Every structure is written in C-alpha cells, then in structure tokens.
Structure 1
Amino acid sequence: MEPNQMYHLFNRGNNRGLVFFKDKNYSYFLNKVKRHLLPHVDVLAYCLMPNHFHLQVYTKNDFDFVAYGHALKIMLSSYTRGINVQEGRTGSLFQQHTKKKILTNYGFVCFHYIHQNPMRTGLVSKMEDWPYCSFNNYFKGLHDTICNHNLACELLDLPIDPSEFYDLSYQVINYNGNGSTTDSFSS
C-alpha cells in the first residue's frame, strides 16, 4: 500500500463463522477502526455484516505501511480478544490475511458495492435498513462518523445532497436479470 491510494479491505470469519455476535459488537469494531486505522487511512465507506467486513480506505500523505500493518493486526487481535471473552471461545476469529485490492479505476463501483452488500445477500430489502453500514451516514447527511465524507465526495464525485446521494445509490444497482446482482468485489 502506498500514500494517496484507494483500497478495498475485507476479511471474514474463519470457516465463514460469525465475527459479530451482538449489536454492540458492531460499534465495538468501529471504535477499533477509529482508534487503530484512522491515524493511517481515511475511511470512505464501510459495511459490517455478521460474518465479514468491508472497508474502503484512502491512504494518508504520511502513510507508513509497517505502522499501518501493525495497527491492523492490533485492531483485529484486540477485537478478537474481546469477542473471545464475550463468547467464551478461543482461537482466531478472522481469516489469517485481510485482503486488499487497489482501486485505481473502480473506487466508485466499490463504494456502491459496499453499501449494497446487505441487500445483495438478502439481509435487508433496502440499503437504508442495514444499520451497520456507512450508507445511512451519507443518506442522512451525518458527518460525525468514521467516514471522511468530504474526501469521499471529492474522490468519487458523489453528490453532497443526501437525497441526490440516495437516488444515485439506487440507480447504480446492476441486476443480472434473475433478481440477483452482479459484482466484482465479493469476498
């Protein structure tokens, strides 16, 4: 990873197991992201689902890969420790390596894919119904979240107006004809 680059980061539970067991786990994870990753990257979008997570990030000017790698490791291991205590379990919660894809030409597509993920998998019928995703932060104009809204709008040419954002988000859904959607960012 290099400074001033956009990436899609994602990981899932070992053996596709759960990583979020209770509602409070989602906010606990976001607090870990805020504490450990925000010093290194700006979050543009996120979606936390029961057995995996997606983050779209933009590396900062002073990005240090070694420091970021350490922060990511600490974030995931400290989250895992908390969940293991809560659930009375042991061992790794996540797959060994968090995947990353550079988004040179696909930032806009990835941004919307991340927000559509709960709907694509059948968890909800509308994006705004999934509370553990940055979609509602943009749609409702909330700027006190972990996402850097201004940077996302600038980099991805997104509308600032919440209702325009909402309309655009539903316009970019790509259905493949049989009721399901197609994508190239699945984890």
Structure 2
Amino acid sequence: MQVLAERLYHVYNQGNNQEIIFHTKDDYVQFLRHVREKVLPHCEIVAYCLMPNHFHFLINTTQKSIEPVKLGQLTSTVLNNGFRLLLSGYANEFNKKYHRTGSLFRQKTKFKNLESDGEKPSNNYPFVCFHYIHQNPFVANLCPKIEDWEFSSFGDYLGLRSGTLVSKQPAFDLIGIQQDSFYQESYQVISEAKIKYLYD
C-alpha cells in the first residue's frame, strides 16, 4: 500500500497460520536488532509490542519514509522495504535455528493509516492504538501487569528503562499522551468497535 509522510500508522503482522514466531527471549531480542537496523532509520517508532505469534508497531512516518526504492521492476518505499528486509532477515535466521523451511510470516505486513485526512481525528485513534498495543500481553493473560511484559515500549514510557528504539516525543506532541495520567489510562478498557478500526 502507499505510505504517506507525516502520518501515524498501526503496522502489524503475524506468524503464518498463527505460528509462533518468538520461542525464546533471544528470538525477541534478535528481532528488535533487525528493527533497529532495517526500520528505525526510516521512521519514528512511537510504540511497539512483540507477542509470541504476532507484532504491533505504532510509527510516525517522515519524508525519509516515503523515499522510493526499486525492487526489480517494482517501486516501493524505503519504509515498506525496511519491513520486508526485517521479516526476511529474521525468518532466515529463525528457520536455520529451528530447522524449518517455508514462510514464517503472513505475506503482507499491514499499514493502517490512523490519520486519513492528516488531522488528529476527533475519536483519536492514534491514542487508542497506543494503549491497545501496550495492553496486548495483559489482555492475553501473558502477564499480571502491563509493565511486566518485557517486549514492548511500555517500560520506556513508565521510566523502567531508557531505550533508544522508541521516540517518545511524538506520543506527547501528536497523540496526547500525558506523563502524569499515562499509567491510569493504560488500563482503560478499549471497546471492540474501536479495536476493529485499528485493522484494515
């Protein structure tokens, strides 16, 4: 799909046939290394969460994100190609490590534009998406508290670590996240209707 500059996107994909894509902590860490190399140079990562069989990113695109890149006869953007390289690189290592063959991820990574008109929508889907991403492991009963899940950006916002993968300023400036109310808002129940909008 065509990616526009200066927009907030929900980017997601999952294991082929909902297969597990992260078996160990090392798998999660290796995937994030690829994210840093292949994706981070082309956008701002506002939030993320890696789950055992899928992943979510909330990204803010820039002019750099939409620079064209030729892939044979096709033209893509450096951001789309960055996600392609992320998944292919990780899948190759995963297949070797676990002695498997074939595709690991669903064929297409989805990019859901949360700001179709370039303005912050009144229903503030970027705000909803930000909290939805962090709630994933908690809602799935993978952890007793959101902050207990190691493989999301929640710890960065809570001040439990000072990582360099996430750009927090867009969350404050573009999404309306407030540091003093962030934790309480993180546990608010999100309606199914709003969640449905976050997906294509």
Fold similarity call, TM over 0.5? yes
How far 1:186 sits from its partner (Å)? 6.3
* 2:170 is equivalent to residue 155 of structure 1: no
* 2:100 is equivalent to residue 89 of structure 1: yes
* 2:184 is equivalent to residue 173 of structure 1: no
* 2:132 is equivalent to residue 113 of structure 1: yes
* 2:185 is equivalent to residue 183 of structure 1: no
2:43 aligns with 41
Cα distance in 2 for residues equivalent to 1:41 and 1:94: 22
Cα distance in 2 for residues equivalent to 1:109 and 1:174: 7
TM-score normalised by length of structure 2: 0.83
CA RMSD of aligned residues (A): 2.0
TM-score normalised by length of structure 1: 0.88
In structure 1, which of residues 89, 92, 99 is the aligned counterpart of residue 110 of structure 2? Answer: 99
2:16 aligns with 14
- 1:63-74 to structure 2, matched below 5 A, reads 63=65, 64=67, 66-74=77-85
Note if contact 2:50-2:152 (Cα within 8 Å) is conserved in structure 1: yes
Cα distance in 2 for residues equivalent to 1:69 and 1:140: 31
* 1:183 counterpart SS class: helix
How far 1:129 sits from its partner (Å)? 1.5
Note if contact 2:137-2:143 (Cα within 8 Å) is conserved in structure 1: yes
Note if contact 1:143-1:149 (Cα within 8 Å) is conserved in structure 2: no
How far 1:68 sits from its partner (Å)? 1.8
Note if contact 2:42-2:62 (Cα within 8 Å) is conserved in structure 1: yes
* 2:111 counterpart SS class: strand
Change (3 A) 1:16 1:125: same
Cα distance in 2 for residues equivalent to 1:57 and 1:175: 22
Structure 1, gaps ≥5 residues long: none
* 2:84 counterpart SS class: helix
Q: Any idea what the Cα deviations from partners look like across 1:133-177, whole Å, max 9, x if unmatched? A: 11111112644231101122111111235xx3212212x32378x
How far 1:182 sits from its partner (Å)? 7.4
Using the TM superposition, name which of 63-72 and 49-58 deviates more: 63-72
How far 1:91 sits from its partner (Å)? 1.1
Cα distance in 2 for residues equivalent to 1:141 and 1:150: 17
Q: How many residues align?
A: 180
Change (3 A) 1:141 1:123: closer
Cα distance in 1 for residues equivalent to 2:194 and 2:61: 28
Runs of 4 or more consecutive aligned structure 1 residues displaced over 6 Å after TM superposition: none
Q: Any idea what the Cα deviations from partners look like across 1:89-134, whole Å, max 9, x if unmatched? A: 1111100001111011310000000000111112123211111111
